[in-house]
Structure 1
Amino acid sequence: MVNLIGKRTLQLLAGGALMLFATVSSAQYVWVDANGTKQFSDRPPPPGVPAKNIIKSPSAAAAAPQTGDAAAPPSTPMSADDKVPPSLADREAEYRKRTKAKEDEQKKAGEDATRKAANKVACESARNYKRTLEQGTRVSSTDKNGERSFLDDSQRTAEIARANKAITEACK
């Protein structure tokens, strides 16, 4: 029983120590960017942010020497030629622009494919109709009153010309 109590106490102490280190490791930086927006991060602000705009930085980070490009102070002031990385809003806008362009391209490709398929069907239909007319098979038509009649030679010639026109338009 005594061994169990000692083990439990040891576990509680270890858990407490871990919680203490967790709060220290969650260092937060707060600064105001060029647009006047408060920025919160676990990383130091970019080198171009003036010290007066840094609202909060962890005390351990201020005492420890900083290494790396992001933490190093700029050796020269930023010029107008230096590229500032795009903000999250800019990247989101670019992403939406690319997505919309891709959707438009896919929509256009779909419309082209539909139009080509319809032209192919119309072309085949016109060629079949012309073939039927040229074979001399009796072709009937229905007039306005619903009466059925057969095409004579002049009507057949006019229908062949119409089929030829349809073939040239649909079979491009």
Structure 2
Amino acid sequence: MKFVHWLVLGCVVALPLSASAQWQWLDKNGKKVYSDQAPPPDVPEKNILRRVGPPPAARSTANPNVDAPPLAEGTADAPAAAPKAAAAPKPTGVDKELEEKTKKAEAEQKAKQAAEEAKIAKAKADNCALARQSKATVDSGIRLAKVNAKGEREIMDDAARAAEQKRIQDVINSDCK
């Protein structure tokens, strides 16, 4: 049982070592970027704050062919092909995450806007239906009553009926398109 405890303790102690293989550099805007991949080739050496291995000068003196791709036989341009292959920019995880966040935010914004437009369209449709129903009632010629500020019923005269018809027609013109 004690061996298992020592094994678990060893795993827990070794766990943070995986975090030490991280790159840290300053991008063009001066923001710190953390990644498990090397920075793009356009980042100058002075902006690389932390790297996974020894600096490139120490690496090149120890074994210059460590990072070089295998040379193709019979080609005179093989050494020139190595810088072209190394110059290919590698996309970093930070850019992908940023793009995903912006796309997600834009999608949420569009969804909110579409929901708000649908809500407004539904309200206009309801107002239109009520206005048409009210217009049919006012145009029918039956006696209509309104409740005044005191809470008493008042029968609408011809002037009040004409004003109500005009108000309802304005609502129909604005909401029923």
Taking structure 1 as the reference length, the TM-score comes to 0.59
1:36 aligns with 2:48: yes
1:137-156 deviation digits (Å, cap 9, x = unpaired): 21110111111011111111
1:122-144 deviation digits (Å, cap 9, x = unpaired): 00001100100000121110111
1:121 aligns with 2:126: yes
Indicate the percent of aligned positions where both proteins have the same amino acid.
Answer: 29
What pairs with 1:98-113 in structure 2 (closer than 5 Å)?
A: 98-113=103-118
Q: CA deviation at 1:84?
A: 1.8
Query: For residue 124 of structure 1, what is the amino acid of its counterpart?
Result: A
Residue 131 of structure 1: which of 136, 151, 157 is its match? 136
Q: CA deviation at 1:52?
A: 3.0
Hey, what's the Cα distance between the residues in 2 that align with 1:74 and 1:91? 31
What pairs with 1:19-168 in structure 2 (closer than 5 Å)?
A: 33=39, 34=43, 35-38=47-50, 51-52=56-57, 75=81, 77=83, 84-168=89-173
* Partner SS for 2:146: strand
Distance of aligned partners of 1:124 and 1:73 in 2 relative to their CA distance in 1, 3 Å threshold? farther
Q: CA RMSD in A?
A: 3.7
* Partner SS for 2:134: helix
1:38-89 deviation digits (Å, cap 9, x = unpaired): 4559xxxxxxxx84376xxxxxxx5xx966xxxx9872546xxx66233111
Hey, what's the Cα distance between the residues in 2 that align with 1:126 and 1:148? 22
Query: For residue 164 of structure 2, what is the amino acid of its counterpart?
Result: E
Distance of aligned partners of 1:75 and 1:132 in 2 relative to their CA distance in 1, 3 Å threshold? same
Structure with higher Rg: it is 1
Hey, what's the Cα distance between the residues in 2 that align with 1:53 and 1:113? 64
Hey, what's the Cα distance between the residues in 1 that align with 2:155 and 2:104? 57
Hey, what's the Cα distance between the residues in 2 that align with 1:114 and 1:157? 32
Query: Would you say how many aligned residue pairs link Structure 1 and Structure 2?
Result: 126
Aligned residue in 2 for 1:19:
none
Q: Which runs of 5+ in 2 are unaligned?
A: 1-20, 24-37, 60-65, 71-77
Aligned residue in 1 for 2:176:
171
Retained in 1: the 8 A contact 2:69–2:82? no
Q: Which runs of 5+ in 1 are unaligned?
A: 1-28, 42-49, 55-61
Aligned residue in 1 for 2:7:
none
Distance of aligned partners of 1:125 and 1:90 in 2 relative to their CA distance in 1, 3 Å threshold? same
1:90-113 deviation digits (Å, cap 9, x = unpaired): 111111000000000000000000
